[in-house]
Amino acid sequence: MKSLKVKDYMTRRLVTFSPKTNVVEAMDAFLKHSISGAPVVDEEGKLLGLLSEVDLMRVIVQDSYYDEAAGIVADYMRTPVDTVDPNMDIYTLAEKFIKEHRRRYPVVSNNRLVGQISRRDVLRATEAFLQHKA
């Protein structure tokens, strides 16, 4: 399994946000694309943070107190972001998922976001490996 690499199973086409994106637009994108989290990147593709459903829940709470569901993604995104390298092997990544209880990791190469890998992607890689081995 150590020959299986993150880059071979990661998702490359991602919904991403600019730090200046309005949070209401971000909520709309989450619902439209059925996603639970998305990377926040600058103009060069550098990863700046992550925005999750939980982060957007803070917008709802703010609205209930201040009657204003407003703001930009930069106000709610999480930083710093734990990332993985595209050349990491799937076995090491699986251990990382188990230890850190994450759903997904952004994949970064040369300081730029190149994809995202999820627990489901690891299961898919394992299934493909076991079917090929049989």
Give the model confidence (pLDDT) of 46-68 as tens digits. 999 999 999 999 888 876 666 66
- The string of DSSP letters for 63-118 reads HHHHS----BHHHH-B-S---B-TT-BHHHHHHHHHHHT-SEEEEEETTEEEEEEE
Task: Determine the number of helices (DSSP H) and then strands (DSSP E) in the chain.
Answer: 5, 4
The domains located in the chain, with CATH, are: 6-133 (3.10.580.10)
Would you tell me the crossing angle of helices 119-133 and 90-100 to the nearest 10 degrees? 140
Q: How far is CA 106 from the centre of its chain?
A: 5
Bridge partner residues of 17 (DSSP): 40
pLDDT at 3: 74
pLDDT at 41: 97
Average pLDDT over residues 105-116: 96
